Structure 1
């Protein structure tokens, strides 16, 4: 949340939040003119109700004259009650005899009236030149409570202390009771901050920097996600259109043959088989999209229906299904899954894992030997799929498990780039792990480790 800031009018101070309570140590009248005139000019120009309680060596008449030079319409502002400039003698007659509680409540009440009149808040100052030594302790206690009172209201307060009337211990009392102090040296105002305030500001600066970095990182993530979504929609529209177009052509061909009276079983059967193949492709694409939706929806993404499953038998079964595809790609499948590897898994999901890994090998390593191996140990099973393809560069290996990523040349284009991401999601859902080993020109190996039972 952004904290609203108000211009202080004093260059050394800059902008301030509401609730600020600070002080200045001045040497002479010129110091007061140099700080208080721009301080109230900024308040008046920013629709604040202002109260200036003056004292020697800069009385109310002088204050009006000097402020009028900076704010030409000061008289009109005074007439309508935006600012009151009053000498401490007259102010004391109005508030004398009041307890610290009554004085503090008076500031709060004045602040309330300012807001009710449409002002943004209350800006005030008081000069303590009039303060006598016997009243110092009581005034210090009062000042200690001012910060707590102001911090929850639209109030900014500046207290002026004459440096020649303050001893070393007095200066410490004053600095302790204000958020920071101003002192003029060599004609320039300088800030004096307490160690806790300096530490708090440094920590706030650090937190702001960290927050900005997090916002930038999150913005970059969102931009990347939007880019990936656009890519996905583009790929999805293309991939879904292909089987739909094929289906439409097959159906139209059959309808035309029927209209001509030339439709026969021999003519229809191959086209229907092709149509069925495209339906299967369409179903597969839709299932992948549903998996993406499920896996993105929660921290426990893919539903797992666990039962006793033999991973070796799953591998053999999927290998048989891929016999024709392997042949078309001129790939030789070397299957080593003779020994049972039984665990508590989701059979359909494991079929997806083996199918996607084998599809990947056939797609990117045609004409090579593809190895499919299952091993078992006491509490886990291992699935290995190895091909003799071109391999994956090291800098790209982490990306292959991301959504919508396809690292292959355009000649291999096709699909959503979701297969390996779905594999990893399924493996994660079973409490397992997947590792990739690959070097350019030396093929690629995927190794899946599955615990026999998923941890609760």
Structure 2
């Protein structure tokens, strides 16, 4: 009798039963190497037949090189036909078009042949990067049939989906057709369980209904807003994350302090007041999200008021103090000089928050320096980290909407954070620049006129 549980090779997953069909969302080539190499090494070590169907951004040549580093005798295993590494064109579209029935039969035939050859079963993966938008619905229907096909067979399948090519509702389709999903956060893989999927669906439907209502209220923008609906949802998810993150940090801090018995009534009131402020920011964000989604309005609408920029930056850094501590970043803030100007407080707070989140996510364990200073009629805001740095060829691209640099540093997410920073700063007639090179950290500089 064959073993019921098989090692996945992935610490976030552990062991899996035969018939498992799960997926992962990746950002760049390094994510695929980080997950698929240990996945196949575990299969090879467990006497499984392995089939790796590749696509950009990790073609067969690069996949073979990456796996060889972990499996020195890879060439011998290929000679024994224990593993095949092939391009997607030789599997999914060998006849010139996608044939779901033929593909499903192919998996079954490979499993039966593998067991006849003395292997424990079949371990496989396919990268969906090649699927065109026009073919998406058909491919989703195919994926819905895969789990039933694998059931009762000695097969374990891992499907890879590039986040850059997935729209928000696509993610729901993907997770619904797999037993669970993997996603990478701060360099670690995390499992999205089916229960979480149900909650995510409910929340997305609620947000969608609320946003549609607000679109109807803005009758002069209705036609463009409807055409931009899919883009709008992805932007909404990013914009809402900023105050939600702050709320989570405050609540987590209160829970920890309460558990330690160190939370005084005065501290509790102060933190609850901060939570209330963030709830107000959430409401204000929802009221203004449509400004970002308008394709014909390249500049966000501003609601200017007079305030101290040094105070705003210092408050933003204070909100992220616990998060910086969690990721091992020592933060210094030089914002002592009052610098009063007339700006949109909410949008600039969002831009600063995006820069701080960027530093915490991509430069963990490094020092973070934040400085605010006046230069005549201008205010200069500098956020410098000691992280891995950014290649010069990516400097311009990372400020583009949905663009991601071709490095592990910018894996995951929708690629909107720095684009929003640029849009907000330029709406104030300012500019944002980046100074960075690999291995030397990154310095983001915002220049804003005081009027």
Q: TM-score, normalised by structure 2?
A: 0.42
**CA radius of gyration, larger in:** 1
